[in-house]
Structure 1
């Protein structure tokens, strides 16, 4: 069970603060159940979810886990789906986003970045499905890293890039 004030990841909403636990004073809720009142950190509104819900919720990653993940980014391989069937591509991306696993989010971002470069090399543009899911993966990952590193969400992408380049340069210097 999460505690009041705790920051968690909820479904595809992303980072939320547990604002309250109990029966919310709104109509239409089962008065016999206790609910989390979630306040999305990067969106407006409130979410009321029963404590015993099967909806995806987990604690956010720690700063140490985020640093470890950044160090592992070069090892996370792209997964290029070379299929013209957009429904299969959408399903692949949806499955990768389902558990809000940061490794999977990075894989999507890296995959779509490679696909974008390949399209540009051919004088083409990246498809809308790829753009949509890359944006979604970035929103999810950067939101969580923003909390883990206590920095504005807009600064996370540059921070990650700088760390990856630093690690690469350090590795080259050692070898």
Structure 2
């Protein structure tokens, strides 16, 4: 169970702060819910039934360890766009940071490859990149107390450096 002010990752809402725990006045279910305020989408509030749809964000130590290169992340980018889109949807919804990092690394690698050919990412890849950058950036930002843009930049730098080792 989480407490008020805990920062969690909710599978459909990204990084959120627990604001309240209880039965919302507009629901007569008698069941407890978490009232989550999104740290990704300003002003967004989500009510989530108390259960296994969330996890705690990574610790500052884990985030710092990643940025120091202590964790090797594989790349995920299937060449078949239909398979890739299905995999990416599943990965985004998994609420698992490792999946998000694999996806981010795969898309960033593809962006670099296409750029050397004078091409841009496909629109679907751009949408997934934007979504996963927001999720990863927000989690590292909350863990390290830095801006989301700075966190995203640092994470991508580490991921791309792993390809060059």
Fold match (TM-score > 0.5): yes
Specify whether residues 82 and 62 from structure 1 end up closer, same or farther in structure 2 by C-alpha distance, changes over 3 A only: same
C-alpha displacement of 1:103: 2.1
C-alpha distance in 2 between matches for 1:95 and 1:30: 32
Of 86, 91, 94, 1:99 maps to 94
Matches within 5 A, 1:135-150: 135-150=130-145
- CA-to-aligned-CA distance 1:79-133 (integer Å, 9 cap, x gap): 33111xx332211111222222222222212211121122223332211111111
Q: Does 1:34 align with 2:32?
A: yes
Structure 2 unaligned spans of 5+: none
SS at match of 1:81: coil
C-alpha displacement of 1:161: 5.8
Q: Is the 8 A contact 1:69 1:103 kept in 2?
A: no
Q: Does 1:153 align with 2:148?
A: yes
- CA-to-aligned-CA distance 1:122-173 (integer Å, 9 cap, x gap): 33221111111111111001101111001121221334467x49x99xxx9x
For 2:47, the equivalent position in structure 1 comes to 48
For 2:22, the equivalent position in structure 1 comes to 22
Specify whether residues 125 and 159 from structure 1 end up closer, same or farther in structure 2 by C-alpha distance, changes over 3 A only: closer
Query: TM-score with structure 1 length normalisation?
Result: 0.80
C-alpha distance in 1 between matches for 2:118 and 2:32: 55
Which structure has the greater CA radius of gyration? 1
SS at match of 1:75: coil
Dislocated runs of 4+, deviation >3 Å: 71-74, 158-162
C-alpha distance in 2 between matches for 1:93 and 1:109: 10
Structure 1 unaligned spans of 5+: none
More off after superposition, 133-142 vs 30-39: 30-39
Query: TM-score with structure 2 length normalisation?
Result: 0.84
Of 113, 119, 128, 1:133 maps to 128
C-alpha displacement of 1:74: 7.3
Q: Is the 8 A contact 1:73 1:106 kept in 2?
A: no
Q: Is the 8 A contact 2:63 2:143 kept in 1?
A: yes
